[in-house]
Amino acid sequence: MDLSRSSKYYFLKFIRIKGDPHDLAMGMALGIFSAMLPILPFHIALALALALFFRVSKITAAIGVFVCNPFTWYILYFLNYRIGAFILNLHEDNRGFSSIMSIQTSEWTMDTILSIAHASWDIIAAFVLGGLIMGVAAAVPSYFVFLRLFNLVRDWRKKIKEQRSVKKWNH
């Protein structure tokens, strides 16, 4: 399948999502927040639970989670740890962290979960604290960006609809 064609297809599906711009943007922000947390196989579950709790778009919450994907999870988790370790004043000499981060992308499921589970509480605290900070830092601006985007899409749809109705009446 052609990459530009599939990109256009998914873009069109994305802008056709119906709903209130606030609900759509909030869902996206909650998905992005969830993606930043070090809970790799449970991102979508958390995003959907948050979307249900806040009564916002579950579809955009699930889409927002894909910020964390096989191409970005290593970087995100590395930054999670670095931010958390800096705040908690942990030393760089942590072997548990390097064993977690040395797992290959193709092995991320059970090996990552087991490595994190066997890590010390300091390392886990650093991952979680860093993830919470990154989650908030990414979710807040993403809400405003996507709110603007969904408002633009709503206005564009309204304009198209008005043009079609005027055209219909002129014929």
pLDDT digits (tens, 9 = 90+) for 47-84: 999 999 999 999 999 999 999 988 898 899 889 989 99
Quote the pLDDT of residue 109. 57
Q: Which domain holds residue 66?
A: 24-170
* Better-scored residue on pLDDT, 146 or 40: 146
Q: Is the pLDDT of residue 149 over 70?
A: yes
Q: Flag whether 95 is in a domain.
A: yes
Q: Flag whether 19 is in a domain.
A: no
Percent of the chain with pLDDT over 90: 46
Quote the pLDDT of residue 171. 61
Query: Going by C-beta distance under 8 Å and a sequence separation of 6 or more, which residues neighbour residue 117?
Result: none
Q: Flag whether 5 is in a domain.
A: no
36 touches 129 (CB < 8 A): no
Quote the pLDDT of residue 9. 81
**3-state SS class at 142:** helix
43 touches 66 (CB < 8 A): no
Instruction: Give the closest residue to 39 by CA, choosing from 139, 130, 142.
Output: 130
Q: Is the pLDDT of residue 145 over 90?
A: yes
Q: Is the pLDDT of residue 2 over 80?
A: no
130 touches 79 (CB < 8 A): yes
Q: Flag whether 76 is in a domain.
A: yes
Quote the pLDDT of residue 92. 63
Quote the pLDDT of residue 108. 52
Q: Flag whether 101 is in a domain.
A: yes
pLDDT tens profile 95-119? 555 655 555 555 555 666 666 666 6
Quote the pLDDT of residue 8. 80
Q: Flag whether 150 is in a domain.
A: yes
DSSP states of 68-108: SSTTTHHHHHHHHHHHHHHHHT--S--HHHHHHHTS-GGGH
Q: Flag whether 14 is in a domain.
A: no
Count how many domains the chain has: 1
Q: CA dihedral defined by 29, 30, 32, 35, rounded to 10 degrees?
A: 180
* Range 6-18 average pLDDT: 78
Quote the pLDDT of residue 161. 83
Instruction: Give the closest residue to 105 by CA, choosing from 72, 132, 76, 82.
Output: 72
The tokens of 162 are what? 């008005």
Query: Going by C-beta distance under 8 Å and a sequence separation of 6 or more, which residues neighbour residue 124?
Result: 116
* Better-scored residue on pLDDT, 93 or 157: 157
Q: Flag whether 75 is in a domain.
A: yes
Quote the pLDDT of residue 163. 83
